[in-house]
Amino acid sequence: MADVAVLIVGFRNPADILNCLTGLSKAAIAPGFDVFICENGGQTAYERLARDLIDRGLCVAANDEPGPFDIGTSRLTDIEQLQLTARPSRVWIGCAAENLGYAGGINAWLAPLLKLSGWRGVWILNPDTKPEAHALTALVERAEAGGKGMVGSTIVDEDRPEHVRFRGGLRWQRLAPRSVPIGLGDHLGAPHDLLSIEDAMDSPSGASMYVTRACVEAIGLMDERYFLFFEDLDWGMRAKRFGLGYASASIVSHGRGTTTGSARTAAAIPKLTVYLQHRNGVHFVRRFFPWGLPARIAVSLLYAVRFLIRRAPGNFIAVIKGVLAGLKGEVGRPGWHRQQS
């Protein structure tokens, strides 16, 4: 095993993953890493991803030796072993038995990795990100120098790379319960106070988060009850006692929601995205700030009204249904979404 395991969850978006791996292939020599991809989109998407990585020259086949992963005891029905053309990093692609969601896709690789020795941390990356060459080096250095269990990057917009979306990650507003990106709108080169940012953080951004092995072993896997949204914030809250860090030199560009189907207009945002954001907001607040549940419901209702004002009645209904589902205790992949697949 390499020093770091890079974990990526895909869903029928090979172009995003190709772009992400292109960035990884140009990473600094140290630390060494291997890449583990969970394809949630089914057998056809899995086969296409492996084929595209080879056809584009980004990877070569690497089935020269048996791997340490047993399909019979995993949640993956098939595993393909490749290697980056530009560096000696293995790329393992796993086909999920079903759509496991984001946390489930991470855990499908993280659980078997915990049985193997040699690695010291995992780097969670969204597939629609592209890290700069020293992004991972900076994360590991901050974790080790600062004694941090989780470390976040500087996330910038792919189409506006001089503007910051996250400095490290998120803080949770207690009075108006919602997550707020730290540093949103800052110019990339603007001065910042590292310790103040780390004190304010409640979680690194799930777009790029480095987690030490010791932290993972202490707090456990991601919580799959969320399916999508809030699982990174939940994980970060559980890791706070091990220290949350910010590596400002870890620059990662992000494609603004291509993994979840987010959109720039209210009516175009998928129903599943809206539904789970508000259902899972209820779950998160109940777990960590139960006294704030009435305020969280009020925030969701304000979002619902805004959807009406912006002529998106379908998403107004999705907010209401999501809140009710959260109050009823629904977890995991929604049944109606499973039936539509």
Report pLDDT digits (tens) over 73-97.
Answer: 679 999 999 999 999 999 999 999 9
Least confident of 159-163, 254-258, 272-276, 293-297: 254-258
pLDDT of 70 higher than 80: no
What pLDDT does 66 receive? 63
Given a contact cutoff of 8 angstroms between Cβ atoms, the answer to whether 8 and 127 are in contact is: yes
pLDDT: which is higher, 235 or 340: 235
pLDDT confidence band for 67 (50 / 70 / 90):
confident
How do beta strands 4-10 and 33-39 pair? parallel
pLDDT: which is higher, 153 or 257: 153
* pLDDT tens readout for residues 107-135: 999 999 999 999 999 999 999 999 999 99
pLDDT of 261 higher than 60: no
Structural domain boundaries in the chain: 4-254, 266-340
Average pLDDT over residues 152-162: 95
What is residue 93's three-state secondary structure?
strand
The secondary structure element, H or E, covering residue 234 is helix 231-239
**What is the CATH number that goes with domain 4-254?**
3.90.550.60
pLDDT of 307 higher than 80: yes
Given a contact cutoff of 8 angstroms between Cβ atoms, the answer to whether 49 and 10 are in contact is: yes
How do beta strands 150-157 and 4-10 pair? unpaired
Q: How far is CA 269 from CA 56, 220, 230, 282, in A?
A: 31, 32, 17, 20
The secondary structure element, H or E, covering residue 108 is helix 101-113
What pLDDT does 168 receive? 97
What pLDDT does 72 receive? 63
What does the mean pLDDT of the chain come to?
Answer: 94
Given a contact cutoff of 8 angstroms between Cβ atoms, the answer to whether 8 and 35 are in contact is: yes
pLDDT of 300 higher than 90: yes
What pLDDT does 263 receive? 53
